[in-house]
Amino acid sequence: MKLIDTPNLDDHDGFYAELLAAHRGLSEAQSHALNAQLVLILANHIGDRQVLSEALDLARKR
Amino acid sequence: MPYDYKPFPYVAPPGLSAPEPPHKVVIVGAGPIGLAMALDLANRGVPSVLLDDNDVVSMGSRAICWSKRSLELFDRFGIADKVLDKGMTWSVGRVCHGDDEIFSFDLAVDPGQRMPPFVNLQQYYVEEFLVERALAQPLIDLRFRNRVTGVDQTGEAAHVTVKTPDGQYGLTADYVIACDGARSTTRAMLDLDFEGEFFEERFLIADIEMEADFPPERWFWFEPTFHDGQSALLHRQADNIYRIDLQLGWDADPEEEKKPEKVIPRIEKVVGADFDLEWVSIYSFQCRRLREFVHGRVIFVGDSAHVVSPFGARGGNGGLQDVDNLGWKLAAVLDGRAPASLIDSYNRERVQAADENILQSTRATRFMTPANGAERLFRDQVLALARKAPFARGWVNSGRLSTPCVYALSAPDDLSLPEISRPGTVAPDAPQQNGWLLNELGRDVTLMALNCAAPAGLDLPVIAPRINDMIRARYLGDARQALYLVRPDQVIAARWVEADARQVRRAVDALWEGR
Ligand SMILES: Cc1cc2nc3c(=O)[nH]c(=O)nc-3n(C[C@H](O)[C@H](O)[C@H](O)COP(=O)(O)OP(=O)(O)OC[C@H]3O[C@@H](n4cnc5c(N)ncnc54)[C@H](O)[C@@H]3O)c2cc1C
C-alpha cells in the first residue's frame, strides 16, 4: 500500500476547521461543487495513480 | 455548390449467365474501408471482387477528419496528393465553455513527417478518389448495384449470394471480407451481435455551405449560450463547407428536429444567417464491437466490426488501420507464404485497437453527455476548474483524436532505444535525401540498419537510412547503432542495438506466424 493512512498532516484540527469554513454559507449544490473541485485539485497534486486508486478504495470501504 | 452525386455504371456481372470460377477474395461493401481493402490487396498482387449495393459515394459527408496514418495509407493507394490538395489541413483546436475559450491545442505540423496530423475532407470525396483508383486497377472487379443477401461457408470456402437489377447469382471465394458497415448484412447472416454501450443522446449533424472565412480549426463548445447548455462543434471542410454538430438531448424527436424550419434557426445562432444547408442528419451513437473479427473464412473490417461515436475521428481512421493490418497477412496466407494462423493475429491486434478506440470514444461521449448526479457534477467542475487552473484543461474531453494503436507484441526490444519506435508502433516517418523514410520501407518485411551493416546471410530487403537529427531522435536516441525489423504494414516488429542473423531470423519467423 502506497497510500498514507496513518497521521500525516500537522494541525489536522486546523485544516478540518478551514474545510468547514470554506463550505460556510454555500448551498448544498455549491458545497458539492466545491468538494468536487477539491478532489480534482488534490488528485492532480498527488499525481500518483496508485495512491489515488487506493484512496478511492479506502473511501468506498464500509 | 453542392456535391454532384454521379452514379457509377452498373454492368451485368458474368455470374448471372454462367457460374464464375472461384475467387480469392470477395469484399462486401465499397465504402471507404472496402475500397481501401481492395486497393491494398491489389497492391500486394491479390485480385478481389468488390460488391456494393449502391452506385454512388456516401450520401452526406459523414467522416471529415483523416489522420496522419490514414494519409500515409492514402499515399500507398495513390490518392494522398489529391486529398491534401482538396482538403483542409488543420492542427489547432479551440475548446470553449459558455462563450469563452478556455484553452486551445495545436497538434503542430511536424516538419520531420511527410503528412500533417489531420486533414478535413468530406467522405464523399475520399470515396470518389478511391473509386477512381479502384476502377483503374485491373486486379479489382468493382460491381455496383450488387447487393449481398446471403453469406455462408464451409471449411474450404465461403459463398455469397448477390442480388442485382438483373437477378441473383452466387460467388465462391477463399475469403469473404465484410466491409458492409455498421448495419452489416454479413454480420446478420452469421447471426453475430455487437457488444458494448449505446448512448441515450441525440446529435444533430449538419453540413452547411457559407462564404465565411472561419479558420480551419476545430471549435468545440460546452454549454454555449447560443445552444442552451448543450455542446456544439464547428469544423471546416473543403468547398466552403462546414460541419456542425449540436447535442440535442435524448428526448428530441429526430424526425421533427431534421426539418429545415427547426434546423436553420439553430444553426443561425452559431454562424449567423448567411449559409445554405447541404446535409443534415440526427444520430445517436454507440461504442460497440463484435467479440471476434475473424469467423473462419469471413473477416470483418471497419464499421461492420466496430462502431464508435465520432468524437475523436476513430471510425474511418480505425477502419483504415484494420485494412493496413489485414492486407499483408491475407496476401501471405493466400500465397501460401504464411500459415492461416497469421490471420488470427489480425483479430488479436485489431480487437486491441478497437477496444482502445471504444474506450477513448466512450470517455469523450460521456464527458459531453454526463448522466445526472456525480457524472454531471464532476464534468461541470472540471470545466469550471479549467478556467482557473492549467492542469484541468487536459481533463476536458471533447474527443481524443485518432492515433494508431501500439500493438502488444512480445518481441525483442532494447529499452535504450527511443520509446516512440518501440515494437508494436507504426514506424515514425523521417525525411531522407529525396523523400521520406516511410516511402523507402516498401511493401515487404524489411530490415532497417542504422549506422551498421545488416548481419550477413539474411534473405530480406535491407535499407540503410541516411542518419540525420530526425532519424537519431526517433530511432537511435543515445545508441550508436540499431537494427529495426519492420512489417509490411510499417509496424516495428522487433529491434536491437546489435543482433546476429539467427536472432533476426527468429523474429522474422515469429512475425509470419503472427506471434
Ligand atoms: C456524423 C459522422 C461523422 C464521422 N466523422 C468521422 C471522422 O471525422 N473521421 C473518421 O475517421 N470517421 C468518422 N466517421 C465514421 C466513418 O464515417 C465510418 O467509420 C466509415 O464510413 C466506415 O466505413 P465502412 O466502409 O466500414 O462502412 P460504410 O461507410 O458504412 O460503407 C459500407 C458500404 O457497404 C455497402 N453495403 C452495405 N450492405 C451491403 C450489402 N448487403 N451488399 C453490398 N454492399 C453493401 C454500403 O452501400 C456502403 O457503401 C463519422 C461517422 C458519422 C456518422
B207 and B173, same domain (yes or no) = no
Cβ distance of A41 and B395 shorter than 8 Å: no
B151 and B200, same domain (yes or no) = no
pLDDT tens digit sequence for B427-470: 999 999 889 999 999 889 999 999 999 999 999 999 999 999 99
What is the distance between the terminal CA atoms of chain B, rounded to a whole angstrom? 51
B80 and B137, same domain (yes or no) = yes
B268 and B295, same domain (yes or no) = no
B191 and B204, same domain (yes or no) = no
Q: Does any domain span residue B441?
A: yes
E strand or H helix at B131 = helix B123-136
| Pocket lining for ligand 1, CB < 6 angstroms | B 28-34, 51-54, 58, 62-65, 123, 147-148, 179-182, 185, 205, 283, 302-303, 310, 313, 315-317, 319
The CA-based diameter of chain B, rounded to the nearest angstrom, is 73
Q: Which among B232, B252, B287 is the end of a domain?
A: B287
For ligand 1, atom 20, the nearest C-alpha belongs to B316
Amino acid at B440: E
Q: Does any domain span residue B369?
A: no
pLDDT of residue B25: 98
pLDDT of residue B397: 96
Q: Which domain CATH number covers B267?
A: 3.30.9.10
Domain that includes residue B40, residue range = 14-88+116-195+289-358
Q: Which among B287, B319, B337 is the end of a domain?
A: B287
CA distance B183 to B188: 8
Smallest CA–CA separation between B169 and chain A, in Å?
59
Cβ distance of A36 and B392 shorter than 8 Å: no
Tell me the DSSP string of B47-78.
-EEEE-S-SSS-SS----EEEHHHHHHHHHHT
- In this prediction the ipTM stands at 0.97
B433 and B489, same domain (yes or no) = yes
Do B52 and B26 contact (CB within 8 A), yes or no? Answer: no
CA distance B130 to B137: 11
Smallest CA–CA separation between B385 and chain A, in Å?
7
Q: Does any domain span residue B412?
A: no
Q: What's the gap between Cα B391 and its chain centre?
A: 30
pLDDT of residue B208: 95
Do A4 and B345 contact (CB within 8 A), yes or no? Answer: no
Measured on CA atoms in the order B358, B361, B364, B366, is the torsion positive or negative?
negative
Residues of chain B with Cβ-Cβ distance to A37 below 8 Å are 381, 384-385
Cβ distance of A33 and B377 shorter than 8 Å: yes
List helix spans (H) across B258-341.
260-271, 315-334
B178 and B207, same domain (yes or no) = no
Q: Does any domain span residue B8?
A: no
Q: Does any domain span residue B342?
A: yes
- pLDDT, greater one: B212 or B386: B386
Q: Which among B319, B343, B358 is the end of a domain?
A: B358
Do B260 and B199 contact (CB within 8 A), yes or no? Answer: no
Q: Which domain CATH number covers B489?
A: 3.40.30.120
pLDDT of residue B1: 67
For strands B218-222 and B92-97, give the pairing: parallel
Q: Which residue has 468530406 as its cell numbers?
A: B122
B154 and B208, same domain (yes or no) = no
Q: Domain residue spans in chain A?
A: 27-62
Distances (CA, A) of A44 to A15, A40, A49, B65: 19, 6, 10, 32
Amino acid at B384: A
- The C-alpha cell of B329 is what? 497477412
The Cβ of residue B365 has, within 10 Å, a number of other Cβ atoms equal to 24
B186 and B202, same domain (yes or no) = no
Is B372's Cβ below 8 Å from some Cβ in A?
Answer: no
Amino acid at B441: L
Ligand 1 centroid to B55 CA: how many Å?
14
Amino acid at B126: V
- The C-alpha cell of B101 is what? 475559450
Residue of B nearest to A32 (CA): B377
pLDDT tens digit sequence for B263-282: 999 899 888 889 999 999 99
Q: Report the candidate in B440, B439, B488, B444 with the shortest Cα–Cα distance to residue B75.
A: B439
B347 and B238, same domain (yes or no) = no
| pLDDT range class, residue B126, cuts 50, 70, 90 | very high
**How many domains are there within chain B?**
3
Residues of chain A with Cβ-Cβ distance to B390 below 8 Å are none
B326 and B224, same domain (yes or no) = no
B191 and B234, same domain (yes or no) = no
Residue of A nearest to B375 (CA): A36
CA distance B218 to B266: 19
